[in-house]
């Protein structure tokens, strides 16, 4: 019950994450224009590389280690402060490297400096601690307040394309304040730090690297698409890609919220050597994740080409084609999240994870050098989808002896059939109406009802789980 409670709590926040961009993205796209969006995307991507390097995989590692010691406050406190000190050191080096980078970079230094507030925010990010403790209420409340402050500030202070710097300041500044706010809860969670704690950070450094390599590999090929588009094509193309990817990733957060909940849960089961418990949790995960991934992917495919110009503005019409091409990635990402985040990381199987992402990054890099000059953003999107598919297949192949895939994926075709029927009907409806917030809401409701009805008729595993949950 705690797992489902945390999932619904986290999912509620993820719905907020979806709703807020629905409100802000059309406004920002029109106010900043494709040039402003492109500049923001490119500079943000560069800063994310420094955050990635400075983070060293500490968030995932800290989440897992805290989950291992949930019941022992003394050990938990020591582990927490050791990891925090390690993060201060690693992020300090990343900030120093960024300062050196600024001496050589061209373009608007002010934009880079504003984006660098995200670096400072990353220094003080301890959300991994509360996730490891399975205390999602505090992180959700923090994130909710940050989102609302950001939303209010954007509409209050961002009015023209000249306000790009204000927009960046709002986004990065609200994240910084949100991360600082979590420190207020620490006195009741952990003991005060001791000097002896800081002598043991070497014990954690090598362990974080084991998670850093897969994390940096996957982040590289995610960020590389935008960066290579900006270099090999144009910042406008990078902006188109970013807008499409943002909708896909925002939609996908409904699915990934389960991985966020499951990782500390499975970590705790692993430390207790409860293999049956792990398999039971993963079976529940795959039921929920694929049950949500299929309708999301086919729903986006159905509405994308009419949705994009209405949502982003007419100058972003190309984003609709990109969204349609990218929609299958939701299914691959769901599977990758299941086997990677929920299983390989908690069970310390990071070698498999690392190689899957390294191969993915190499394939992504080589394929983009060919696809982007020929097809631009469409090529980059196609490469991204194929890369995620290859990464997922690699992970599944290397753990095939540990799972009964036939039993695990039994009945998945029911999600596919229900989603395809929904897609055809929704596509027909959206082509025959003038799109606005009312008609879009109505179409979404119709899509949900059709998909739900399909699951009920076919008696899918998701339907059976929901029915069983309602009886409790």
Higher-pLDDT residue of 252, 189: 189
Q: How many CA atoms lie within 13 A of 97 on its CB side?
A: 16
More confident residue, 155 or 14: 155
pLDDT (0 to 100) of residue 139: 76
Predicted pLDDT at 275:
83
The answer on pLDDT for 222 being more than 80 is: no
Mean pLDDT taken over the chain: 85
Amino acid 7: pLDDT: 66
Which pLDDT band, with edges at 50, 70 and 90, does 224 fall under? confident
At 396-421, the pLDDT tens digits run 999 888 888 888 888 899 999 999 99
Q: Which residue has the higher pLDDT, 424 or 44?
A: 424
Confidence of residue 36 (pLDDT cuts 50, 70, 90): confident
The residue among 200 and 338 whose pLDDT is bigger is 338
Percent of the chain residues past pLDDT 70, beyond the cut: 92
The pLDDT score that the predictor gives to residue 13 is 63
Confirm if 5 and 11 have CB atoms less than 8 A apart.
Answer: no
pLDDT of residue 98: 94
Tokens of 341: 């985040």
Classify residue 199 as exposed, middle or buried by CB count within 10 Å of its CB (0-12, 13-18, 19+): exposed
Q: What is the mean pLDDT of residues 380-392?
A: 91
Calculate mean pLDDT across residues 77-106: 90
Is residue 20 over pLDDT 80?
no
Q: What pLDDT was estimated at residue 317?
A: 84
Structure confidence by residue, pLDDT tens digits, 67-88:
888 888 888 888 899 889 889 9
Return the pLDDT at 209. Answer: 74
pLDDT-derived band at 472, boundaries 50, 70, 90: low
- C-alpha distances (whole Å) from 119 to each of 47, 54, 222 are 7, 9, 19
* Residue 376: closest CA among 264, 235, 277: 235
Mean pLDDT of all residues in 190-206: 76
| Cα 127 → chain centroid | 15
Q: Are 432 and 393 in contact (CB under 8 A)?
A: no
Tokens coding 345 = 């990381």
pLDDT for residue 1 is more than 60:
no
Per-residue pLDDT, averaged over 262-285, amounts to: 83
Rounded-to-integer distance, Cα 257 and Cα 254, Å: 6
Q: What are phi and psi of 158, to 5 degrees?
A: -105, 110
Percent of the chain residues past pLDDT 90, beyond the cut: 26
Of 246, 302, 293, nearest to 431 (Cα)? 302
Say how far apart CA 224 and CA 384 lie, in whole Å.
10
Tokens standing for residue 155: 């509409």
Residue found under tokens 């929704």? 426
């Amino acid at each position: 019950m705690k797992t489902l409670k945390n999932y619904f709590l986290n999912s509620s926040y993820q719905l907020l994450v979806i709703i807020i961009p629905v409100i802000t993205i059309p406004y920002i796209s029109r106010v900043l224009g494709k040039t402003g969006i492109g500049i923001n995307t490119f500079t943000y991507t560069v800063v994310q590389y420094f955050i990635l390097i400075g983070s060293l995989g500490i968030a995932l590692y800290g989440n897992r280690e805290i989950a291992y010691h949930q019941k022992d406050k003394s050990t938990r406190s020591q582990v927490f402060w050791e990891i925090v000190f390690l993060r201060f050191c690693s992020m300090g080096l990343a900030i120093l490297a960024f300062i050196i980078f600024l001496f050589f970079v061209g373009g608007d230094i002010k934009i880079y400096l504003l984006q660098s507030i995200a670096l400072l925010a990353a220094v003080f990010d301890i959300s991994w601690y509360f996730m490891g403790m399975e205390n999602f209420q505090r992180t959700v409340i923090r994130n909710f307040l940050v989102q609302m402050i950001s939303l209010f500030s954007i509409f209050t202070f961002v009015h023209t394309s000249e306000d790009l710097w204000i927009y960046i300041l709002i986004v990065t500044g609200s994240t910084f304040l949100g991360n600082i706010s979590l420190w207020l809860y620490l006195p009741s969670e952990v003991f005060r730090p001791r000097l002896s704690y800081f002598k043991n950070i070497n014990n954690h450094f090598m362990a974080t690297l084991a998670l850093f390599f897969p994390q940096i590999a996957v982040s590289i090929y995610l960020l590389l698409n935008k960066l290579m588009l900006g270099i090999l094509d144009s910042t406008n193309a990078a902006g188109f890609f970013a807008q499409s990817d943002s909708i896909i990733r925002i939609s996908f957060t409904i699915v990934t919220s389960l991985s966020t909940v499951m990782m500390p849960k499975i970590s705790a089961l692993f430390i207790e050597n409860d293999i049956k418990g792990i398999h039971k949790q993963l079976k529940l995960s795959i039921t929920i994740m694929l049950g949500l991934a299929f309708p999301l992917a086919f729903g986006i495919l159905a509405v994308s080409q009419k949705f994009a110009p209405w949502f982003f503005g007419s100058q972003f019409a190309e984003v609709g084609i990109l969204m349609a091409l990218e929609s299958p990635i939701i299914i691959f990402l769901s599977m990758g999240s299941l086997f990677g985040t929920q299983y390989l990381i908690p069970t310390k199987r990071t070698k498999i994870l690392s190689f899957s992402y390294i191969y993915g990054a190499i394939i992504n890099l080589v394929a983009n050098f060919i696809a982007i000059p020929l097809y631009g953003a469409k090529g980059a999107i196609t490469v991204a989808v194929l890369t995620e598919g290859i990464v997922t297949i690699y992970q599944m192949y290397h753990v095939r002896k540990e799972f009964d895939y036939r039993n695990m994926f039994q009945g998945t075709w029911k999600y596919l059939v229900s989603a395809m029927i929904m897609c055809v009907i929704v596509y027909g409806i959206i082509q025959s109406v003038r799109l606005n917030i009312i008609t879009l809401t109505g179409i979404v409701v119709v899509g949900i009802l059709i998909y739900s009805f399909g699951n009920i008729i076919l008696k899918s595993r998701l339907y059976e789980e929901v029915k069983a949950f309602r009886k409790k």
